[in-house]
Chain A
Amino acid sequence: MAVAAGKAARVASRLRGGGSALPGLVVERLDPRFLTHALAGLPRGVVVITGTNGKTTTTKMLVAILREHGLTVFSNPTGSNFTRGVISSMVAEISLSGRLEADIAVLELDEAHALKFAAEVKPTHALLLNVARDQLDRFAEIDHTAKLLAELAEQTTIAVVLNLNDSFVSRIAGRVRDGVGITYFGVDPSIAGRLPELQEADVRFEDDFMPPTPSANDGLLKPHDERSFEVRFGPTDRVGPMVLKQRGLAAMINATAATSTARVLLGNEFRETAAVAALERVEPPFGRGEVIDADGQPLELVLVKNPAGFTVALSTYGSTPVTTMVAINDNYADGRDVSWLYDVSFESLRGKGAALTSGVRAYDMALRLQYDDVAVTQIEPDLDVALARFLAEHKDEPKRIFCTYTAMMALRRNLAGRYGLANFGEEAQP
């Protein structure tokens, strides 16, 4: 009954053209045990991926590797990464008996919702990516976020995969149940100097923090140049070299996390060539460096949501400065407090300046840039007006938009109409 009602809600919400969480809400009301029923007994278990940055990219990568190995994978690809979003995704793929036809589930969950989910379904595996300042108005404190991840690890039944270099995450190793496997992913010691690009050093106080010594089961990122890298396991095993479609060190470390986790899940079935083939085909997720053809010129949409993420985005794209717009909203999903913009350095934009700032907090963003001596040409809070101007006045140049979540949704909707792009949540599957 619950499944049929959910399917009806899904059709209804599609017709209205929005709201990926609505069918989930309907099913959850009707049958709160729905998740347990549907996910119980998946032969290869339930994998939860969480942490502050890189959830969506890493989930996509792990799913691609598993599918390349022939597994039927259930995932929550719509970016609706709360429990209801998971249910919404399942409703589409479930038989009316309430069983999910899949070998394994790989789920991206927000830190707080991962725990709510674990109260319903114990994950067999958990991949814990990192902890950074993110929407402190929701989680209140970084220490609190780290605690949420540790509690998730305590409830995981078979194995956890932890970030070797993030002390908030690697120290969780002491919290898992007896018999639960521990695997790490991290960076090769030769590039340890680049860690500040990936995490905030200023909130980590363990001056004497010594990362655990990696074993041959732990994947270490070894870049060859800006684009090419391999993942090393012990002295001899290598996955790669490979080149991702998404640029930047953050994407490489996500691929390292996905590869390390895939090896845990697949054991002897893991094939390096399949992993490389899958990773090289993964398209950047929606808004994470997605490139749109705008009148013959590339337009990149880059989602920013916290100081670490914005800093990584600026350093990733800073080497190729292009005409830039920054769009900042302050709805719940964006983070209502815009204070975090003052924990990001915008100096890399100084050379070319910003063509436009937009969004509800367009003036606050322009003010922030003023304090970093970045020239702002125009301020236009209305996103549609700003986008139209940005496209018209820079027609023959490559362009880039840094935007918060709800600003990105609005811009993507507008761009989809202009250039006939796939709708959100309906990305082409590999």
Chain B
Amino acid sequence: MSSRPNGSSPDSGTSGSKGRIKIVHIYPREMSIYGDLGNTRCLASRLRWHGYEPLVHQHHPGNDFPADAHLVLGGGGQDSGQARVQDDLALNAEVLRTLAEDGTPMLMICGMYQLFGNTFITLDGERLPGIGVLDVTTQGNAKRMIGPVVLETDFGDVVGYENHSGSTELGRAQRPFGTVRSGMGNNGTDRTEGAVTGNVFGSYLHGPVLPANPSLADALIKKAVERALGEPFVPGEIDDGIADQARLRQVRRLVG
């Protein structure tokens, strides 16, 4: 069994690269305590395996936001982490909204999903403004929603792990990312999970979500390549046998 699903060498480098894709991970220190940096690692590796050259940029509060991003990722953090990024996010809200409207693929997990919504209302009733890319509103909750999740999505079954106290309601026209087959999802009642607007995906799923769900990862890559290079995505040959087994076994355990 090869460690490298397509057998290429780790340093195949830029020669013969189909093009350079810039991935921006926002607030990796404050908002990625549940392994969500694994999503960025996954996309960078898969881009390489597909023959493209990934360029990973980490955006920290106070730095200039790279407006030439082709893919933007964010993760979950603690309440104190959200407080630390709030100001920087407000400062860059316009740039992010423009990128989103322009079709830049984005994946926002948990805390950053909430901040990409309209408002987060804390347990004490305080209203924290989001940047409004997704039409969702989150209400702080005494009860935490914790556990493994299986979703039905446009990309087939998606597995992950949720761990959130916020209960999220979708706006009337807001499309969810998936339908809950097992787990709680946005709020534990309407069976929706996450939200999708254009190419912006919000979800509560850690895991991290991309490695075990490669079709979602490749959908993000396809959009990034098309936008960055103005030409169709030409996938390489990747053996996703292990990822598929990991996912199928979770689906079988949780929904039979």
Which A residues fall within an 8 A CB radius of B?
133, 136-137, 140-143, 202-203, 205, 336-343, 353, 361, 363-364, 366-371, 373-379, 381
Contact = CB atoms under 8 A, between A and B. Distances in A.
B111 to A, nearest CB: 11
30 contacts: A133-B33, A136-B33, A136-B34, A140-B163, A140-B165, A142-B33, A143-B78, A143-B80, A203-B33, A336-B146, A336-B147, A336-B148, A337-B163, A339-B35, A339-B36, A339-B38, A339-B206, A343-B33, A343-B35, A363-B245, A363-B246, A367-B242, A368-B211, A369-B3, A370-B242, A375-B3, A376-B1, A377-B1, A379-B1, A379-B245
A291 B158 CA distance: 40
B1 A339 contact: no
Contact of A373 (B4, B144, B207, B246): B4
Contacts of B29: 202-203, 205
Contacts of A353: 3
Nearest to B244: A363
Given A341-B35, A363-B246, A367-B211, 14 more contacts: A205-B30, A336-B147, A336-B148, A337-B34, A337-B163, A339-B34, A343-B33, A343-B35, A343-B37, A367-B246, A369-B3, A371-B41, A373-B3, A375-B1
A339 B242 contact: no
Contacts of B3: 353, 369-370, 373-376
Nearest to B146: A137
A119 B92 CA distance: 47
Contacts of B249: 363, 381
Contacts of A377: 1
B5 interface: yes
Given A369-B3, A379-B242, A342 B41 contact: yes
B37 A371 contact: no
A371 B242 contact: no
B230 interface: no
Nearest to B3: A375
B155 interface: no
A362 to B, nearest CB: 9
Interface in B178-216: 206-208, 211-212
B61 to A, nearest CB: 10
Given A136-B163, A375-B3, A342 B33 contact: no
Contacts of B38: 339, 342-343, 368, 371
Interface string B150-170: 000000000001010100000
Nearest to B29: A202
Contact of B84 (A205, A369, A381): A205
B204 to A, nearest CB: 12
Given A340-B34, A371-B41, A141 B4 contact: no
A368 B41 CA distance: 10
A143 to B, nearest CB: 5
A231 B202 CA distance: 51
Nearest to A202: B29
A133 B32 CA distance: 12
B212 A342 contact: no
Interface in B208-256: 208, 211-212, 242-243, 245-246, 249
Contacts of A381: 249
Interface in B1-50: 1-5, 10, 28-30, 33-38, 41-42, 45
Contacts of B10: 373
B145 to A, nearest CB: 11
A414 to B, nearest CB: 22
A337 B206 contact: yes
A252 B36 CA distance: 32
A381 B42 CA distance: 23
Contacts of B28: 202
A97 B245 CA distance: 57
Contacts of A368: 38, 211
A137 B147 CA distance: 8
A202 B81 CA distance: 11
Contact of A371 (B42, B146, B206, B207): B42
B246 A340 contact: no
B84 A342 contact: no
Nearest to A378: B1
Nearest to B40: A342
B35 to A, nearest CB: 3
A97 to B, nearest CB: 43
Nearest to B37: A342
Nearest to B245: A363
Contacts of B148: 336
B79 interface: yes
B237 to A, nearest CB: 15
B79 A364 contact: no
Nearest to B42: A371
B77 to A, nearest CB: 9
A15 to B, nearest CB: 33
Given A203-B33, A364-B246, A370-B4, A140 B144 contact: yes
Interface in B73-127: 78-80, 84
Name the residue in B2, B29, B33, B249 with the highest tally of chain A Cβ atoms < 10 Å from its Cβ. Answer: B33
A401 to B, nearest CB: 19
Contacts of B30: 205
B170 to A, nearest CB: 25
Given A137-B146, A374-B3, A367 B212 contact: yes
Contacts of B42: 371
